[in-house]
Amino acid sequence: MRACVPLIVAMLCGLAWAGTTESCASRCNEKFDRDAACQCDRQCLQHRDCCGDYEHLCTAEEDPKEPKAFLELEEETWEAPASNLYSEPSSCRGRCYKPVDKHRPCHCDARCQEFGNCCEDFEMLCGHEGFSHSSDAITKDELRSISEKIYKADINKAQKADIVLNSQNCISPSETRDQVDHCPQRLFTYVNEKLFSKPTYAAFINLLNNYQRATGHREHFSAQQLAEQDVFLREIMKTAVMKELYGFLHYHNRYSSEQEFVNDLKNMWFGLYSRRNGERDSSGFEHVFSGEVKKGKVTGFHNWIRFYLQEKEGLLDYYSYIYDGPWDSYPDVLAMQFNWDGYYKEVGSSFIGSSPEFEFALYSLCFIARPGKVCPLSLAGYPLAIQTYTWNKSTYGNGEKYIATAYVVSSTQ
């Protein structure tokens, strides 16, 4: 896939290259260009084919590990965290080594003893669990490292020949509200549907028709649909992707057993809560992967498989895109606009060509490690970031929070 613009001027489509192909002006960290006289990609120093001004123009720029946002908040406005959701706000019960919540009077994170703001029962409830302060704190570098491992472990992802995209017209961010169809043809020209026979894909697709997309209507799961949730979790936990994630979180003392991890995933992703009218009408999985309609607009809907299947059925009309990621293999990232059976999505980012377990793993990683914050990751040497939001109006277990949404929000120059 090709980025629609030089990333240093993210999303300003149609700009001409400044300079020639013998210079890195406006070309810093672009993809390899076989037609150019010299290169400005990240590997040019290694391959000794950089343009003469590469180091002067490109290496002095801001740290490429720090992502630059290309998407603003594209969901409905999320409310500020509610306080006192735990039954015991001054206790560490159910909160051992959870991230700091500034709305609480005391804390139970890995560094609370260092800062002298632990809850009184911290030692009693958390000390026996054998948590190590040094291993529990998840750093940005560790997030980038584990995301690279997850990326390499995704053997079920699409190969180049499995997907043919027709991205067509790139528009500027200011045009996204116009609701104009700039692309007369479908986004997906071809998808090798043999992918969908793989166990994790098949289990994932079985879940997509279990929801009513309109918020405000109570969700009812049959015994079969509940079983399908368990099948999906069971299948993805067999993969190297999820084993990498669990091993990482276990090392950082987030979970003491794989079963505890799976139980938490089921609650945070599939547990129902109310987005509208007090009905248990939504879940993190429905919102992120299947998509919802609220107040006449599409919310969530960040999955390429769902997009392809709905487009194939004639229920989705692809309008345009504002960003195409720097990856030249799958998974890639595309930020696009579309009409879903009469409802418009102004900005929707999706991984393209990834396996279901890959997306599920990265979103879960970021929700657990950086809930409600931007989460810096790295894929194939390229940084990106994921934004998650917690649902703060209701909780499960000992005050644990559901996933409200998760999606890719940034890339880098």
Helix segments in 237-371, DSSP class H: 240-251, 258-270, 284-285, 304-312, 356-369
Is 302 catalytic? The answer is yes
With both helix axes pointing from N to C terminus, report the angle between 140-153 and 356-369 in degrees, rounded to the nearest 10. 170
**Cβ proximity of 174 and 337 under 8 Å:** no
Any idea what DSSP says for residue 206?
H
- Would you put residue 94 in left (φ > 0), alpha (ψ -120 to 50) or beta? left
CA contacts within 13 A on the Cβ side of 311: 22
Q: How remote is the C-alpha of 20 from its chain's centroid? A: 36
Structure tokens, 319: 């309008």
Which candidate in 98, 252, 294, 302 is catalytic? 302
d(CA 288, CA 292): 9
Which candidate in 107, 157, 252, 287 is catalytic? 287
Which candidate in 98, 107, 157, 345 is catalytic? 345
CA contacts within 13 A on the Cβ side of 253: 20
**Cβ proximity of 316 and 308 under 8 Å:** no
Q: How many CB atoms lie within 10 A of CB 310?
A: 19
Strand partners, 336: 321, 348
d(CA 177, CA 365): 32
d(CA 207, CA 303): 13
Is 56 catalytic? The answer is no
Which candidate, 274, 236, 251, places its Cα nearest to that of 363? 236
Q: How far is CA 152 from CA 67, 114, 215, in A?
A: 21, 36, 37
Q: How far is CA 382 from CA 29, 71, 105, 331, in A?
A: 10, 17, 39, 12
Is 243 catalytic? The answer is no
Question: If you search the block for the tokens 């003893």, which residue do you land on?
Answer: 113
Main-chain dihedrals φ then ψ at residue 389, nearest 5 degrees? -135, 140
Q: How far is CA 119 from CA 88, 90, 103, 125, in A?
A: 11, 6, 13, 10
> Which residue numbers are catalytic?
287, 302, 345
